[in-house]
Amino acid sequence: MDKIVIEGCRPLKGEVAISGAKNAALPLITATLLTSGWHTLHNVPDLRDTRTILALLASLGAKWERQGTTVRINSDKIENFEASYDLVKTMRASVLVLGPLLARLGRARVSLPGGCAIGARPIDLHVQALAKMGADFTLEGGYVDGSVKGRLTGSTVYFDIPTVTGTENILMAAVLAKGTTIIKNAAKEPEIGNLIDMLTAMGARIRGRDTDLLQVEGVKKLRPAEGVTIIADRIETGTYLIALGAAGGEAKITNCDPSLLPSLLEKLRVAGVEIEEGRSWIRVGRTGHLRSIDIKTMPFPGFPTDLQAQIMALMTLSRGLSVITETIFENRFMHVAELRRMGADIRVDGHSAIVNGHGRLLGAPVMATDLRASASLVVAALAAEGTTEISRVYHLDRGYEDLEGKLTRLGAVIRRVKETQ
């Protein structure tokens, strides 16, 4: 397993281009299962997770090819309907084949995701909603096995929690169902809007984009998506904004969409980070001291849980107390112990972490535990005095395209070394 070594305490300077959104690419890739023909997706990031979902589609019978950031997918021959444990255990989002396979084949067998570093993350809301649409499920050997005779039936489903991939699975099931499906308390993340745009381009009839009430009128057949573009990755954008706030300096972030980060931009300004917004770029810099701020993660458009670990690293560099409350996942503070190794003063009390910022961090050997926790360690390392070694960086490779290259072009001193066994 590789590790990343960062020499910290250097202000960043230059320009960085944001890649397509991982959490849009994953559902849009599985949506190609819904109909035969060649689909074309643009701005698809080349990540461990996108390679995993494409491998999963190939295991189901699809063919795909990549030219640069364009990926073409052909789902003419989908014969297999099983998403195996060895694929799902590495990526929970494999559950996104459940809806499209039931809609296309009337059959789907998906390994339960199992726990992961940030919590139990069950898929009960997905299964309950699909069952209301006529699917029968059995659960054995760690697999959820769903089947439906003929087509799924449109129904009204209500989500206790606005689940992102749950909303995406039901949307993909509903577009080919008989009749109308209403989704109440749907998630409103921008990646869902990107999926709705793709399904609409394929001939689906969906109303309520960007709201928590979605209405889908099922159709018999869809056409392939000719040229749908994945939106900019708002979490990658937020990670670089926070990294600039931590390391200081000034940079221009391009190929991004500031409107996808309403809460973060506001919070960073209050913390003392200078932000100038363009239509598809953000100029960011920090010269003065950081001010401590309180954060509470919420579903979109609230503060994203996927930036909680990164903003916590930033707050360790401010002076004063910050309270960071995680309301989405029950165990998303794995990065606290690692930040403490770098000298951070953080106390966890239930769902909240109280950060007593001292304005400095010290380089140390640390370990990544999950994707966004590892991003917070990179943010901390860029600001820390001395050298930081981050092990288990395969977590980072899941969601950050060319991280070393992008940070090197911003002036960071960062290198990847093969970890001796």
> What are the residues binding ligand EPZ (CB under 6 A)?
22-23, 26, 92-93, 119-126, 161, 163-166, 187, 305-306, 328-329, 371-372, 399
Nearer to ligand EPZ by C-beta: 19 or 292?
A: 19
Helix, strand, coil percentages, rounded to 5, for the chain: 35, 30, 35
Beta bridge partners of 413: 7
CA distance between the termini of the chain:
8
Nearer to ligand EPZ by C-beta: 306 or 401?
A: 306
Q: Is 116 a catalytic residue?
A: yes
Nearer to ligand EPZ by C-beta: 9 or 123?
A: 123
> Where is 110: in which H helix or E strand?
strand 107-111
Nearest approach, Cβ of residue 300 and ligand EPZ (Å): 8
Nearest approach, Cβ of residue 304 and ligand EPZ (Å): 6
Nearest approach, Cβ of residue 71 and ligand EPZ (Å): 17
Question: Hey, is 213 helix, strand or coil?
Answer: strand
CB 283 within 8 Å of CB 252 = yes
The pairs formed by 405-411 with CB atoms below 8 angstroms and a separation of 24 or more are: 406/16, 406/17, 406/240, 407/12, 407/243, 407/378, 407/382, 409/14, 409/15, 409/16, 410/12, 410/13, 410/14, 410/15, 410/16, 410/249, 410/251, 411/10, 411/11, 411/12, 411/13, 411/14, 411/249
Query: For residue 30, what are its two tokens?
Result: 């599985």
Nearest approach, Cβ of residue 413 and ligand EPZ (Å): 26
Query: For residue 70, what are its two tokens?
Result: 């364009």
Residues 204 and 170: their CA atoms lie apart, in Å, by 13
Give the other-Cβ count within 10 Å of 283's Cβ. Answer: 16
Cα–Cα nearest to 296, from 274, 318, 314, 311: 311
CB 326 within 8 Å of CB 297 = yes
Nearer to ligand EPZ by C-beta: 19 or 165?
A: 165
Nearest approach, Cβ of residue 371 and ligand EPZ (Å): 5
Residues 418 and 421: their CA atoms lie apart, in Å, by 9
Query: DSSP per residue over 151-172, as a string?
Result: S-B--EEE-SS--HHHHHHHHH
Nearer to ligand EPZ by C-beta: 121 or 205?
A: 121
Nearest approach, Cβ of residue 327 and ligand EPZ (Å): 9
Nearer to ligand EPZ by C-beta: 164 or 173?
A: 164
Nearer to ligand EPZ by C-beta: 73 or 187?
A: 187
Q: Which of 5, 17, 105, 116 is catalytic?
A: 116
Nearest approach, Cβ of residue 180 and ligand EPZ (Å): 23
Q: Give me the helices (H) in 234-305, please.
A: 234-247, 262-271
Burial status of residue 117 (CB atoms within 10 A of its CB: 0-12, 13-18, 19 or more): middle
Residues 39 and 36: their CA atoms lie apart, in Å, by 8
Per DSSP, 122 falls in state -
Nearest approach, Cβ of residue 230 and ligand EPZ (Å): 13
Residues 53 and 25: their CA atoms lie apart, in Å, by 9
Cα–Cα nearest to 229, from 259, 256, 197: 197
Nearer to ligand EPZ by C-beta: 301 or 386?
A: 301
Q: Which residues are catalytic?
A: 116
